[in-house]
Amino acid sequence: MAQRNTAQTLDFVPLDQETRSAISTREAAHHLNRKMQTLHIWACKENGPIRPVRVGGRLAWPVGEIKRILGVVQ
């Protein structure tokens, strides 16, 4: 049985309609068009264009910073 690509089966909120202050690594990777592993490396090495907030051992990526990087008007 083949595994489904879960990134394609999830419904992502368009970035210009996002109301949360931070989003998951999966959602951030989708919007930034990067692999989740890339975002994990950015978090680990603290050298990426955006730094996550750690909440209860999980990473949360600030929506405002993602919008700024991508040039999405707030």
pLDDT tens sequence across 17-74: 999 999 999 999 999 999 999 999 999 999 999 999 999 999 999 999 999 999 987 6
The answer to the question of residue 59 being in a domain is yes
Residue 24 lies inside a defined structural domain of this protein: yes
Question: What's the rounded Cα separation, in Å, for the pair 67 and 55?
Answer: 21
Q: Is residue 59 classed exposed, middle or buried when 0-12, 13-18 and 19+ CB atoms within 10 A define those classes?
A: buried
The number of distinct structural domains making up the chain is: 1
**Structure confidence at residue 5 as a pLDDT band (50, 70, 90):** low
Residue 61 DSSP class: E
Is 10 within a domain?
no
Residue 9 inside a domain? The answer is: no
pTM: 0.82
Is residue 51 assigned to a domain?
yes
53 within domain boundaries: yes
Evaluate whether residue 13 is within a structural domain.
no
Enclosing domain of residue 55: 19-70
